[in-house]
Amino acid sequence: MRAQLVGRKDCHLCSEAAAALRSLGTAVEELDVDADPELFRLYDFRVPVLLIDGRVVGEGRLTEASLRSLLARG
């Protein structure tokens, strides 16, 4: 399973999602929406966005509980 979190610098929701993923022991690649024109086009106002194997599985406020559920469905 490949987990990627699309977010941006100084985004508290993005930081919270990344911290929750780490607390769940999930290795996650963090992608900066502002550094990639395609990510910006797709996800600008949707961050944070969690991708599992390239598929969007969650966005917005991602709590530890919601992430646990999303990861279990993978």
User: pTM above the 0.75 mark?
Assistant: yes
- Residue 73 is predicted with a pLDDT of 84
Q: Is residue 45 classed as helix, strand or coil in its secondary structure?
A: helix
The Cα 44–Cα 72 span in angstroms is 26
Tell me: pLDDT of 74 over 70. Answer: no
- Residue 19 is predicted with a pLDDT of 96
- Residue 42 is predicted with a pLDDT of 97
Q: pLDDT tens-digit profile of 1-50?
A: 899 999 999 999 999 999 999 999 999 999 999 999 999 999 999 999 99
Average pLDDT over residues 43-63: 96
